[in-house]
Amino acid sequence: MATRRRGFGAIRKLPSKRFQASYLGPDPRRHVAPTTFDTRLDGEGWLARERRLIDQENWTPPADRETARRSAPTLRDYAADALQRRRVRGEPLRPRTLKLYEGLLERLLYPTFGNVQLRAVRPSDVVTWHSSLPAGQATQKAHAYALLRSLFEQAREEGVLKGENPCRIRGAGVSRRARQIEPVTLTQLEVLVRATPEHLKAAVLIGAWCGLRFGEIFELRRGDLELDRGIVHVRRAVVRLDRVEVFGGPKADAGLRRVPLPPHVIPQLQQHLDRYVP
C-alpha cells in the first residue's frame, strides 16, 4: 500500500485497513510501532510521542521498551488482555461482566496500581489500598478486591508473575448483604400490577411469581411459554450495555431451566400473548 511521507516518520495503510507507523531513529535504523492503529491520527500521535522522546534525549528503541514492558508489565499493561483471555467453564467472560470489571479497574484499581509493575506490588500495598476504600460500599469493595486477586492469580498461572499472590486478606472478596430483602406482599403486588402499563403487566407477574431475572424476562418468546403445561422455559437473556442490547444465554449454566407457572397467572399470560405477541 502507499506510504505517506511526513516531516518525521511515515504512515502507511495496510491491506487490513489498519495503519502502520515507522521512523528513522537516531541509531539510525527504521523503527516500526509495536502495534498497528485504527486511524491515521492514532499513528501520528505515536510518532509525535517518539519524536518528543528523541528531543528530550530519553529515547530508546521502541522494540526494547516493548520487551521490557512485557517482561515486567504493570497492572494496566496486563489487565485488559488478560480479561479477554480468561475463560469460565471454557467460555469467555460475558459482555456485562467485562463492563463491570472495566469500571472497577478504572475507578478503584488503576488509580493505585495501574502504573505499578505486578512484581512490585507487596501484600502491605494491597492492605493499604483496601483500607482506603469507602466502608459504605461493601459490595463494590469486595468485587474490586476479588478482581485484583484473580488478576494476580492469572498472572501467576500464565508465568507473567513469579512468586506468591500479594492479595492475602482473608474474606475480603466476599460481600455480605447489608440488609435483609423483604418480598412484596400480595397487596403491594396488586397495587404494582395495577399501576403498570398493560403491555408490561405480564413481566411483573412472571418476575414476582417465577423469580426470573430482568434480562431473562425480557428475552422470553412465545415458544418459551407452555401454558397448557404451566411451564416457562428460560433459554436466553438480554442485557443493555452502552445503549446497545446484547443477547446471549442465561448468566450461568444453571440458568437454563424450566420454571413452573402458578395456575392463577396463566389466564393473564394467555391474554398477553393473544394481545401483544404475534
What does the pLDDT look like over 11-68, one tens digit per residue? Answer: 999 999 999 999 999 998 999 999 999 999 999 999 999 999 999 888 989 988 877 6
Spell out the residues 6+ positions from residue 120 whose beta carbon is closer than 8 angstroms to its own. Answer: none
Nearest 5°: the CA angle 44, 84, 79 is 70
Give the range among 118-132, 143-157, 178-192 with minimum mean pLDDT.
Answer: 178-192
Pairing status of strand 257-260 against strand 10-13: unpaired
Q: Phi/psi class of residue 147: alpha, beta or left (left: φ > 0; alpha: ψ in -120 to 50)?
A: alpha
For the chain, the distance separating the N- and C-terminal CA atoms, rounded to the nearest angstrom, is: 52
Phi, psi of 226 (to 5 degrees): -105, 85
H-type alpha helices, 158-265: 186-195, 201-210, 214-217
Q: What is the mean pLDDT of residues 253-261?
A: 82
CA distance 219 to 224: 10
| pLDDT tens track for 168-225 | 999 988 877 667 788 889 999 999 999 999 999 999 999 999 989 898 999 999 999 9
Strand partners, 241: 244
Assessment of whether the complete model's pTM goes beyond 0.85? no
Q: pLDDT at position 180, please? A: 78
